[in-house]
Structure 1
Amino acid sequence: MSEHPLILGIETSCDETGVGLVRGCELLGDEVASSVDQHARFGGVVPEVASRAHLEAMIPTVRRTLDSAGVEKDDIDAVAVTAGPGLAGALLVGVSAAKAYAMALGKPLYGVNHLVGHVAVDQLEHGPLPKPAIALLVSGGHTSLLLVNDLATDVVSLGDTVDDAAGEAYDKVARLLELPYPGGPHIDRAARSGSASALRFPRGKWGDGTYDFSFSGLKTAVARHVEEADRSGSPLVLADIAAAFQDSVVDVLTRKAVDACVENGVRTLVISGGVAANSALRALAEQRCAEAGIELRVPRPRLCTDNGAMIAALGSEVVAAGLPPSPLDLGTDTSLPVSMPLAV
């Protein structure tokens, strides 16, 4: 292989079929086919629907990615694919496709970790990640704080959600407020015209001495507020509820992330995952990082949500580290630990 091999990345952990092409830290192609509209009427992702959508979208999405990058299949040096964590059926479609491409092209296969991919993608925008770094991952299924010593070989979990992930809480609160799915963008938009100080919602696991998160109690507090207003006939100010809810979420996320940096002597914080596109989270993180003298790195919104580029970026790191390819009987792992950037 050349110094910077061309990596094809395939991501199918949830409801988006992502395919990316990366050479080193250079993004050459990035295409996504989302099935979110098919899940909207259910208020959440239906695994069987997602799996079928991946199956139908896979080959066209790979073709679009190759065409947009101006390369041929034979130019690919290695194939990287999300092996976990994620939905079982969705992961299986992606891994099966990656095996087929790897076998057909005679190229090595690398099954990699979805969560670590969310960190690796930042390098496509901001260049090599300083070592060590702290990463805050916030998405519909995950809220995690990671100590990243090396993307390919040494990632340590500092804390995780003990119940609802931040994005999941956004979706559930949006449903309470009769806002569309997915809830994050709609709550963010509504909150801009509201007052975060009009209501005070709880901060889960606030100041408990850990890096863990909890948003279930916050969701319940919002539900009780809505129920009480219904019983009393009081008017509901949707914008104020959205602003107060969002203020609670981003307050906890940013405080624990900055604390993790300070307490571990780390000067770089990466925020990624779908919720990283949230305007309030970005603004408060910028403020608190500036006050603490910490460099904040947040990929552009397109790269924060699930995509194939992040898997290709992690694959590039794994190849550069000289790690052995995954076997062709590679399985999927719905709960693949973050300490395993490369699945075995």
Structure 2
Amino acid sequence: MTAPEGRGAVLLGIETSCDETGVGLVRVGADGPELLGQAVASSQDEHARFGGVVPEIASRAHLEAMVPTVRAAFARAGLEPRDVDAIAVTAGPGLAGALLVGVAAAKAYAAAWDVPLFGVNHLAGHVAADTLEHGPLPTPALALLVSGGHTQLLRVDDLAGSITEIGTTIDDAAGEAYDKVARLLGLSYPGGPVIDRLAGDGDPAAIRFPRGLTGPQDPAYDFSFSGLKTAVARYIEQAERDGRVVDVPDVCASFQEAVVDVLTAKTVRAAVELGIGTVVVAGGVAANGRLRALAQQRCAAAGLTLRVPRPGLCTDNGAMIAAVGAAVLAAGGVPSGPALTGNPGLPVATVLVP
């Protein structure tokens, strides 16, 4: 596939792995992918009363939002369908029904516009989002991917097809822990933004919550947040038994400090031990203010270069999928076949789905 002379290829990215319908348009360039325009429709409010994402509701919301979101992205980019040279779509991991909506839509658009289709990995997309802001990613790089469903350390040798997991959570992801602690405190869903906001009024040293998997015999690069969530629950229960008022900002600040302390300490340790000089923090939790600040502090102290995309590129969006599609296209990746479908358990090592 060759773009018209005088410009790089334009990719349309479609993301429907969870509760955001994301559509983005990027142009492939020598200095990395250029974001031309994007739109995101979230069904988050529809899930709030359930305290988490309901797959059936998410799938229906994607169906309703797909066409309007595509039109909005084109309008913001000042482009038309005839300007698109290829389409990239999230093929996994994610919710089965939600993935199928996005893949079906992408197949339809690719057929109607007669352009190649690339089914790509959602997790690789989060890492690729950084290239929309900071340009090509030096390799190797170490990515801390931290979101509602994933907490992983990834060695990135090639965004188009060489990503290796070197650490992961053995239970709750960091984002899940935020949501569960928010529920314990009677706060709204999703828990991440509200806990981050309330933590600003609290003392992060008020309560010494445990740091999971940080003992000398524990896996160096793996994570665990289930015990931390349980410790918060026990603290609240004990305070109520003692007749004490729970200081919510202090609990939020102390819980958050425990999370980001472990995330940043293990990331820096991995980068130093593996001899990797560039660290990328990606995923929805990368929008967290305290995580960004502590990562910057610790990376600077260790002589590491830190790259974190702006908050609007951290959460699920179509631009990040177009960005990983751009990397695949530039590497000469073969378009996905007609049998492409969603894979809820797609491993991060599989960047391009045949």
Aligned to 1:98: 106
Gaps of 5+ in 2: none
Aligned mates of 1:186, 1:270 — CA distance in 2: 24
Aligned to 1:44: 52
Query: CA RMSD of the aligned region, Å?
Result: 0.8
Q: 3-state SS of the aligned residue for 2:335?
A: coil
What is the aligned counterpart of 1:63 among 64, 71, 77? 71
Residues 1:82 and 2:86 aligned together: no
Aligned to 2:301: 291
Q: Which residue identity lines up with residue 24 of structure 2 in the other structure?
A: G
Q: 3-state SS of the aligned residue for 2:144?
A: strand
What is the aligned counterpart of 1:322 among 322, 332, 337? 332
Aligned mates of 2:199, 2:280 — CA distance in 1: 24
Q: 3-state SS of the aligned residue for 1:288?
A: helix
What is the aligned counterpart of 1:335 among 328, 335, 345? 345
Aligned to 1:172: 180
- Per-residue CA deviation, residues 245-278 of structure 1 (Å, 9 max, x unaligned), is 0010000000011111101111100001111111
Contact residue 55 and residue 93 of structure 1 kept, 8 A: yes
What is the aligned counterpart of 1:232 among 239, 242, 250? 242
Residues 1:114 and 2:118 aligned together: no
Q: What's the offset of the Cα at 1:328? A: 1.5
What is the aligned counterpart of 2:220 among 196, 205, 210? 210
Q: TM-score of the superposition, structure 2-length normalised?
A: 0.96
Q: Which residue identity lines up with residue 147 of structure 1 in the other structure?
A: R
What is the aligned counterpart of 2:134 among 126, 132, 153? 126
Q: How many residues align?
A: 344
Q: 3-state SS of the aligned residue for 2:259?
A: helix
What is the aligned counterpart of 2:18 among 14, 19, 25? 14
Aligned mates of 1:209, 1:178 — CA distance in 2: 33
Q: Which residue identity lines up with residue 224 of structure 1 in the other structure?
A: R
Contact residue 157 and residue 338 of structure 1 kept, 8 A: yes
What is the aligned counterpart of 2:317 among 298, 307, 325? 307
Q: Which residue identity lines up with residue 297 of structure 2 in the other structure?
A: Q
- Per-residue CA deviation, residues 280-307 of structure 1 (Å, 9 max, x unaligned), is 1011000000000101000000000000
Bigger shift: 3-12 or 262-271? 3-12
Q: TM-score of the superposition, structure 1-length normalised?
A: 0.99
Aligned mates of 2:238, 2:129 — CA distance in 1: 44
Q: Which residue identity lines up with residue 23 of structure 1 in the other structure?
A: R
Gaps of 5+ in 1: none
**What are the within-5 Å matches in structure 2 for residues 254-273 of structure 1?**
254-273=264-283
Q: Percent identity?
A: 67
Aligned mates of 1:70, 1:235 — CA distance in 2: 54
Q: Which residue identity lines up with residue 124 of structure 2 in the other structure?
A: V
Aligned to 2:290: 280
- Per-residue CA deviation, residues 81-136 of structure 1 (Å, 9 max, x unaligned), is 00000000000000000000001111111000000000011011001100110000
Aligned mates of 1:118, 1:65 — CA distance in 2: 19
Residues 1:154 and 2:162 aligned together: yes
